[in-house]
Each structure stands twice: as structure tokens, then as C-alpha cells.
Amino acid sequence: MTKRMRGNLLLLLAALIWGFSFVAQSEGMKYIGPFAFIGIRSMLAGVSLAAFIAVRELRKKTKNIGKKHGDPMSTATMTEATEKKGQEKKNLVLGGCCCGIILFAATMLQQIGIMHNNEPGKAGFITALYLIFVPLTGIFVRKKVGRKVWIAVALAVCGMYLLCIKGGLHMAVGDLYLLGCAFVFTAHILVIDFFSPKVDGVAMSCIQFLLCGVLGMTGMFLTEQVELVHILEAWLPLVFSGVFSGGVAYTLQIVAQKDTEPATASLLMSLESVFAVLGEWIILGEVLTEREFLGCALMFAGIILSQRPDKPGEKTTEI
């Protein structure tokens, strides 16, 4: 399995988890407000990742016990290694803080938009417009986007429309918040693309969620009145959204984007809309219509097209 294929499969798994988490998110919002949900969910994600990192480091130390040390490094080599490690730490902290702030902004816009919007399918469609925004950013930074990617994006957008929009498409206050959310998620994808090859993806994801959790809980204490009984009532949605949708899926995104182009990553992650509908079908017993099946088929066609290898001698122009 190539690195690119592995990265794509990890992103597909992340989209699957995000899609099924829509049910948990909607249930959790019945008991607590958006700041509380985001804050507690993000703290759970950060703590679970911190525990994973601690266990991983302990295993590394255990494996190193009893191993013979090699030749001692020279002073110059030690200095170079120290400088490299220091730069990695700076990138890790900077990347984690940037991702945490952006993720908090995106999720808050999404929560507010959903609160104003009574059509979950429409909300999912507008949020997933990052599928278009990501390759568009390549134009502004003078990076060409391959024709294959644009065709794949067009197929996926048409599929999302059939899948998510039941009536006419009109813009309301909630829709504007969701549109802003799509822009911010675009920034999140691009920032991860910049930092992920330079740092430990799991550690950066941990910092991202801890900061997002602090911001969310600060907003909770300042603007919301939350009782412990309400948090306990929402424990299952919070745990699933925090540990799996947050800690696992977003870490998969950071790790996978080391080997996947941003435009392709956005296509794969947009499949969360398909998995959300499938989750409602499987968990809530809702039946898919022919229109929704066609929408799923078009989205999958776009993904498959984006993964086709270039022809021999063809210049790769994807982001």
C-alpha cells in the first residue's frame, strides 16, 4: 500500500466517523448549549490524546531499556540535533495553537448556523462547500488545479445538492453562519497541510483540542448556565463526539494529510455528508430516496475520479 493510498483511506475513515457523529451532535444539543458542547467535547478529545501520547512515550522508553548506545555524538552533531528539536517544538506549538483557534471558530459558526437553520441537510450542504473553496485557494497562491480535480469537485457538489437539499436553495441568517464555517474549515485544511509534515500529528491534534476546549468552556462560563445533570444526560453524545469524532477522526486528518493533496483531502472528507445520511438510515431507520441514492453515487464518482492516476507523461497540476 502506498503512502498516498493509506492517507486517503485514513481520511475516508475520518469522514465515516464525522458522518455518524451528526446523530450524536444533534442529540447532545438537546441538553446543553453550543459553547458547553464544544468545550467539553474538545477537552475529552484532548485528554484522550494526551493519554495516548503518554502510553506511546512509555512504550518507547521501555523498548530503549537494555539497548546498547551507539558512538557518542560530536558537539556539532549534538548542537544541530538540539536546534532541530527546538524548531520542531516551535512548529508543534504554533501549529497546534493555529489549528485550535481555527477549529473553535469553525465549530462555533457551525453550531450557531445549525441553531438558526431547521434543515440539517441544507446545513450539511453549505458546510461542505469547503470542497469548492480549497481548490479555489490555489488560484490565489498561483497554484494550478488539474482539470480532473475540477470535474471531481463538480460531480461531488451536484451529489451533495441532491443528497442534502430537499427544497429550494435560499440564504437565511443561519446559512450565512454556515457559509462562514465553510470558509474557516478551508483555512483549517490548508493550515494542517502546512504544518503536518513538520510535526508529530497526534501531538498537534492534542494541543488543538485542548486549546479549543479552553475557548469553548470559557464561553460556556461567560454566556451559558449549565448544570451537571444536563451534562450527565448528554454523556454518550459527548463521549462519542469527543473521543471518536474529535480525538480519533481529526488526528486521522492531520496524519493523513501528510501524504494527500489538500484538494483531494477535501473531496474525501466531504463524504461525511454521505455517511451522515447513511447514519440516519441505519441508526434512525430513515429510508433513502432515489434522489439521495443518486446524490451518493455522484459523490462517490467524484472521489473515484480524483483518485485515478495521471496518464503517463501527463504533468500533475493538482494542489
Sequence spans of domains, the chain: 3-59+95-307
pLDDT recorded at residue 124:
67
pLDDT recorded at residue 143:
61
What are the distances in angstroms from CA 242 to CA 274, 287, 289, 310?
Answer: 21, 28, 31, 38
Contact at 8 Å (CB) between 178 and 123? yes
Count Cβ neighbours within 10 Å for each residue of 79-101 and write b for 16 or more, e otherwise. Answer: eeeeeeeeeeeebbebbbebbbb
Non-local (6+) Cβ contacts of 41 within 8 A are 28, 213, 216, 238, 241, 242, 245, 246
pLDDT 10s per residue in the chain (319 long)? 688 888 888 888 988 888 888 777 777 878 888 899 999 999 999 998 898 889 888 888 887 765 555 555 566 566 766 777 888 889 999 999 999 999 999 989 987 887 776 556 666 667 777 777 877 776 666 666 677 777 877 887 887 778 666 666 666 777 788 888 988 998 998 898 889 888 888 899 899 999 999 999 999 999 988 888 999 998 998 998 888 888 888 888 888 887 777 777 877 887 777 777 777 677 767 666 788 778 778 877 776 676 555 554 444 333 3
What are the distances in angstroms from CA 226 to CA 107, 110, 239?
Answer: 19, 20, 17
Specify the DSSP class assigned to residue 248. I
Cell of 110: 457551525
pLDDT recorded at residue 318:
36
Cell numbers 494542517 correspond to what residue? 192
